[in-house]
Amino acid sequence: MKYDVVIVGAGSAGCVLAARLSENPKRSVLLLEAGPDYPEFQHLPDELKNGFNLDAGTPHSPFNWAYQASGASGQTNPLQIARGKVVGGSSAVNGQVFLRGLPEDYDSWAALGNDQWSYINVLPFFRKLESDLDIRDDFHGSDGPIPIRRDKPTDWHPFQSAFYDACVAAGYPEDPDMNHPDSTGVGPVPVNNAGGIRMSTALTYLDPVRYRLNLTIKPNVLATRIVFDGTRASGVDVESGGQKFTVEGEEIVLAAGGIASPQLLMLSGIGSGSHLRNLGIPLVCELPGVGQNLRDHPLVYIELGVKDGVHLDITGPRMQSGLRYTAGGSQLRNDMQIFPSNFGGPTSGDPLGGDWKSREPGLRLTCILQAAFSAGELSLASAEPHDKPHLSYRYLEDPRDLQRLREAMRICQRLLAHPALEPLIEGWLAPTEENLASDEALDTWLIQNVNTTYHTSGTCKMGPGSDPMAVVDQYGRVKGLQGLRIADLSIAPDVVRANTNATAIMIAERVANWI
């Protein structure tokens, strides 16, 4: 059977595409996913269902692609890069922070020649995807698939409340709605968690429509290569259960994410000709931007000792408040985040990522660079689809990135000296006083400890024909080819100044409108 649309990847974007494109009963849609599917909610494993259980993102989880990467130059250990390998993708394993990017993020995309992606043009799709349970105004949706809420301050952990008080005392504005276009300062964090359940796109978009007659969902199927008839994509080579076969489609849409989408393009002969020739892959289309412009949010976290008697709940929320601010001298609004997190044990983890080396109960402040100037690259390790690609993030290569993270650490020193935190914290565990003694010592520590927030973006960026590094046009169509689109975070020209899941879902809503 030849499908009208074949979607590769049933993740944050793929589930949205499948739901929206199958609204037309005359359009046949095939959704492919390398990981498993759980059609019945009662069979959903706890680490996927329970939003406060982050075990699905650990390196040995069956629901994690578990990539490895190099972070900053000189780091000795590889970074662990979690990506969801299950229907729902990373929305089924993540920490559920549901922040939009700033209006300036999307307007900057438009200024590069992608006018359909200005803030005024994407706002209707942000509203379409959500049902905000707390705020009703022109900037928020009220009847979309994904429920958004914020913990009330009366329900916050004492560490969250004390951090909030310290920020207000330091002069940061109070921010009741982080998804308002003018938002800045300290306030409650919006999350797509309802009653403790992680509201993935599998639950919110796909489950209500999964039995449509024109929608076929195939889990445990690995896409290995896009098939072409000349310059037109005609199908996808796949593997499942030890068998290899080809599925055919009038249009192929990649929604495999910022790592797997460029990997699949290169395996299919789309990318830098010299790189592909070195691996013996026949060139189909020369697009040197594939795998370049690897963007992320570098982070470092401060580990804090906990005084006796401070309760840490293994089953409760761990991140309820946060601070967004503009670094000193920066022209980029809200280019920094600081989030407090409290976590109670092995299954609770830290919702803000890191390398999972610390699984003990504790308190953290996580400093996140939201608009890094440094960018990395993704390349193939071999022509074998089962070999994971090389990822080099090149964190902190631009001195402006290092300077802003250093400033964030100094801000944390001042915030943690506030009296509200004294009953909770028993000193710093990392970095140590020695690491903090001078800017030079702190810079060394930052370079050794910088880590990922799992927000990989930009590796198949959109742009006009005049941009030689653009991979797709603003409608997601791969340049120089027909019948092939991309609709995930890889097409973003840069990473937005926010956690990226909301933007991934918006991208899928936007592109679905054009298919």
CA–CA distance, 299 with 364 (Å, rounded to integer) = 12
- The secondary structure element, H or E, covering residue 20 is helix 12-21
CATH architecture, domain 1-148+196-295+382-388+457-515: 3-Layer(bba) Sandwich (3.50)
Q: Does residue 345 have a pLDDT over 90?
A: no
∠ CA 477-284-5, nearest 5°, is 40
Give the rounded percent of residues in the chain with a pLDDT score beyond 90. 92
pTM over 0.95: yes
**With 50 as the cut, is the pLDDT of residue 452 above it?**
yes
CA distance 184 to 107: 18
Mean pLDDT of 123-134: 99
Query: What pLDDT score was predicted for residue 343?
Result: 75
Tokens 């090389």 belong to residue: 390
CB-based burial label for 208 (10 Å; 0-12, 13-18, 19+): exposed
Cα torsion 125, 128, 129, 135 to 10°: value is 110
Amino acid at 393: Y
Q: Position of tokens 């402040």?
A: 365
Return the domain boundaries, the chain: 1-148+196-295+382-388+457-515, 152-188+299-371+396-449
pLDDT the model gives residue 361: 73
CA-only gyration radius of the chain, Å: 22
Q: What is the CATH number of domain 152-188+299-371+396-449?
A: 3.30.410.40
Q: For residue 284, which of 417, 482, 438 has the smallest C-alpha distance?
A: 482
pLDDT digits (tens, 9 = 90+) for 211-268: 999 999 999 999 999 999 999 999 999 999 999 999 999 999 999 999 999 999 999 9
Q: For residue 244, what are its two tokens?
A: 């290899």
- Does pLDDT of 348 surpass 60? no
CA–CA distance, 430 with 119 (Å, rounded to integer): 39
Tens-digit pLDDT profile for residues 7-55? 999 999 999 999 999 999 999 999 999 999 999 999 999 999 999 888 9
Give 360's pLDDT tier (boundaries 50, 70, 90).
low
| Helices marked H in 205-310 | 257-267, 273-278
Residue 435 has pLDDT above 50, yes or no: yes
* Rounded average pLDDT over 397-407: 99
pLDDT for 503 beyond 60: yes
pLDDT number for residue 347: 46
pLDDT band at 124 (very low <50, low <70, confident <90, very high): very high
Cβ–Cβ under 8 Å, residues 323 and 186: yes
What tokens does 256 get? 């495999």
**Chain mean pLDDT for the chain:** 96
**pLDDT-based confidence at residue 422 (cuts at 50, 70, 90):** very high
Hey, which bits of 135-289 come out as E strands? 146-148, 185-188, 193-194, 197-198, 215-218, 222-229, 232-240, 243-254, 270-271, 285-286
User: Is residue 352 very low, low, confident or very high in pLDDT (cuts 50, 70, 90)?
Assistant: low
pLDDT at 44: 98
pLDDT at residue 357, as a whole number: 46
Cα distance between residue 421 and residue 415, in whole Å: 9
Q: 267 and 281 in contact (C-beta within 8 Å)?
A: yes
Catalytic residues: 455
Among 83, 180, 196, residue whose Cα is nearest residue 132: 180
pLDDT band at 74 (very low <50, low <70, confident <90, very high): confident
Q: Each residue of 253-308: pLDDT tens digit?
A: 999 999 999 999 999 999 999 999 999 999 999 999 999 999 999 999 999 999 99
Between CA 460 and CA 472 the distance in angstroms is: 7
356 pLDDT more than 80? no
